[in-house]
Amino acid sequence: MLLTLGLLSYLPLCAQNPIIRDQFTADPTARVFNGKMYLYPSHDIPAPAGQRQDWFCMADYHVFSSENLTDWEDHGVIVTHNDVEWVRPESYAMWAPDCVCKNGKYYFYFPASPKSGRGFGIGVGISDSPSGPFRFEPNMIQGAMGIDPCVLIDDDGTSYLYWSGMGIRGCKLKDNMTELDGQSQQMEGLPDGFKEGPFAFKRNGIYYLTFPWVRKEGGTETLAYSTSTSPLGPWTFKGLIMAEHSNGCWTNHHSIVEYKGEWYLFYHHNDLSPKFDKNRSAHIDKITFAKNGDIIEVKPTIRGVGINPSTSRIEIDRYDEPGKGVTVEFVDTANTFKGWYATLTDKDSWLTYRDVDFSDLGASGYLIANVKAENNTELIIKEKNAKGKTLAKVKVVCMTEGQFRRDNRGRWMTLTSSLDYIPKGVTDLYITSADGNVSIDWIQFKNRDKYFQPASSGSARPDDQGFIRRWLLLDPIDKPNRSNTVFTDSYLQENFNKEYFANQFTAVPKSGQQEKVEKQVLTWHGLDSERFNVKLFRFADLNQKQIYGVLFWGVTVINCDEEIPNVRLAAGSNSASSWWLNGEQVLLLSGDRRMVEDDGMSQRLTLKKGKNILRCAVINGPGMSDFCVRFLDESGKPVTNYTINIE
């Protein structure tokens, strides 16, 4: 039988434990093929009606891959319990698998319930690719009755199959990788107590047989190991790889693999299903060896492994080290796949998150944080520790008073913040708060879209559609407006024609020049817009200025080699705007508007030979602001035979 895979899916970046967040992934066997890590877990699912509800339920296998151990690609289903000739349909017993490569072929080993007889048999699928599709042998491996198959290919190419069931057994495989070569034997020298899930590997001439082990009556599984100078023993028991799960999760199951010079332990835990330990999820932590080859006991972490790009979502609740007063809870107890959030309960609470790579964050980067609080506070992010440089201070304003009153206490808010400092390369983050009692779901550093570039030297031209993109823009003037419905003609004429700063209707300012408007000190910026519509909202945000309830002022210079008569100024704006050419108001767009191309047109105008000064003012209330403007000729075609500068 040849089974094709389902559609690929790309999981969100997730350097934290558990590593797969959209399904349960127990018994994770990891293998390195062609310089990439592949993961072959079993797949816990909720038991359907008619099946035992308090036991393991597994109908199929998926395969995942990753190059960096942080983002994982789901290649889809390898096989289900209804697709193999010898497997009993609807048996829901596709337990821990393995996959190895020999002579260019990939062999997928799995246990399942046979159509005839009791217990488990072990089957094999064969493929030319580690992700399939696999062709499954019609019969199970004769003489191998049990669960949790594992294959070791020795340095000389000899292959060995291990499995569990009434202890742990092993046997040499024939070269075809689908038959035992002789009689299997019990692995001797292992400790007393329940054992299953063998995983064998070789390192520096030492054979390791590792296995889940219940070391005391009534206890739960540890991960333990024995070593030998022979692939089939006898074995010498050495000790623990990982102690029992602290929350009482009964099982653990694992694999150990070297990748890019580091050794990793893959294992499982029921942290996404804390009330039912038959739904498990794959984790990764680093594993180290003593000089004599002994395994140093691994302490499980929630941070996991891998370097987290700063521009991917960083789940702070998967921290490395917490200070006092840090709590972690599910975002949604009804859907645990949404993950967790961390709460800093007082002003002395803190946590650290290691290995964040800032290489892809540019100088205009900023921070997004998904947070909630009961009172206004400030989230503080530093580099490395409490004395490190401050990257950002995120003002968490859940309550406001006055004209724009808000009450977002206890509600998730996605907030943005500018950065005071951007680290270089890979570093650690230290998170704390000014007053405590703030919860963080995630943070993410982002590069700003390039809405603007500093105006280049020399002259510019309108774009192919005639839109004017080079402007001198003034930092926004505070002009509180509760609603855009107040933007009547009379209101606008009064407020647009008011003098806010000296020579506002006559002078052409210089980039960097400052104006004093009441208590504000505002700066002119010479910019080229990357888009035909000039994003005033983004301009204000980029310069860390007020974005709502403001008045924007812009100036540009149109240079004509000859007089251009009978043109119309065509503009659109969000919200209301006024336009002046050479000191005369030529267009007023009133009311609550959305930016629409050529939303309003002036009377016929003449662009005189030489310099023409075009000014605009755009006002908004609780909304975004942008504009677009161009000149059209009598036939409605864009006028483009002029240059633009800001001098």
Answer for the pair 127, 133: CB distance below 8 angstroms, yes or no. Answer: yes
pLDDT mean over 46-58: 94
Band of the pLDDT at 2, cuts 50, 70, 90?
very low
The predicted structure's pLDDT at residue 15? 57
pLDDT mean over 476-487: 84
The predicted structure's pLDDT at residue 403? 62
Band of the pLDDT at 436, cuts 50, 70, 90?
confident
The predicted structure's pLDDT at residue 400? 79
Q: Pairing between strand 350-357 and 308-309?
A: parallel
pLDDT of 14 above 60: no
170, 83, 308: which is closest to 161 by C-alpha? 170
Q: Give me the torsion for CA of 478, 484, 489, 490, rounded to 10°.
A: -60
Give the helix, strand, coil percentages of the chain, each rounded to 5. 5, 45, 50
Q: pLDDT tens for residues 362-380? A: 988 999 999 999 999 999 9
As given in the structure block, the two tokens for residue 151 are: 């294959």
Mean pLDDT of the chain: 94
55: which DSSP letter? S
Out of 60, 196, 317, 626, the active site residue is 196
pLDDT of 12 above 80: no
pLDDT of 3 above 50: no
Rounded-to-integer distance, Cα 45 and Cα 61, Å: 11
235, 156, 250, 242: which is closest to 200 by C-alpha? 235
* Tokens 């990793």, located at residue: 264
112, 107, 130: which is closest to 39 by C-alpha? 130
Answer for the pair 66, 53: CB distance below 8 angstroms, yes or no. Answer: no
Band of the pLDDT at 318, cuts 50, 70, 90?
very high
Please report how many Cα atoms fall inside a 13 Å half-sphere around the Cα of residue 539, on the Cβ side. Answer: 32
pLDDT of 16 above 90: no
pLDDT of 238 above 90: yes
Band of the pLDDT at 344, cuts 50, 70, 90?
very high
pLDDT mean over 198-221: 97
Judge whether 196 counts as a catalytic residue: yes
Q: Pairing between strand 159-164 and 168-172?
A: antiparallel
The predicted structure's pLDDT at residue 624? 85
pLDDT of 33 above 60: yes
Judge whether 27 counts as a catalytic residue: yes
The predicted structure's pLDDT at residue 402? 66
pLDDT of 94 above 60: yes
Q: 90-119 b/e with 16+ CB inside 10 Å = b?
A: ebbbbbbbbbbbeeeebbbbbbbbbeeeee
Answer for the pair 492, 590: CB distance below 8 angstroms, yes or no. Answer: yes
Any idea which of 254-268, 356-370, 538-552 has the lowest mean pLDDT? 538-552
pLDDT of 5 above 50: no
Rounded-to-integer distance, Cα 286 and Cα 263, Å: 6
pLDDT mean over 137-144: 97
Percent of the chain with pLDDT over 90: 88
The predicted structure's pLDDT at residue 523? 97
The predicted structure's pLDDT at residue 365? 92
pLDDT mean over 326-352: 95
pLDDT of 149 above 90: yes
Any idea which of 52-66, 273-287, 400-414, 595-609 has the lowest mean pLDDT? 400-414
545 or 162, which is more confident? 162
The predicted structure's pLDDT at residue 401? 74
Q: pLDDT tens for residues 263-275? A: 999 999 999 999 9
Answer for the pair 163, 147: CB distance below 8 angstroms, yes or no. Answer: yes
Percent of the chain with pLDDT over 70: 97
61, 89, 73: which is closest to 3 by C-alpha? 61
* Tokens 């704390």, located at residue: 432
The predicted structure's pLDDT at residue 8? 42
Rounded-to-integer distance, Cα 16 and Cα 306, Å: 8
* DSSP H or E run through 541: helix 536-542
Band of the pLDDT at 623, cuts 50, 70, 90?
confident
Q: What domains, with CATH codes, occur in the chain?
A: 26-286 (2.115.10.20), 308-446 (2.60.120.260), 452-644 (2.60.120)
Given CA atoms 33, 359, 391, 397 in this order, what sign does their dihedral have? negative
Burial class from Cβ neighbours inside 10 Å (0-12, 13-18, 19+) for residue 460 reads: middle
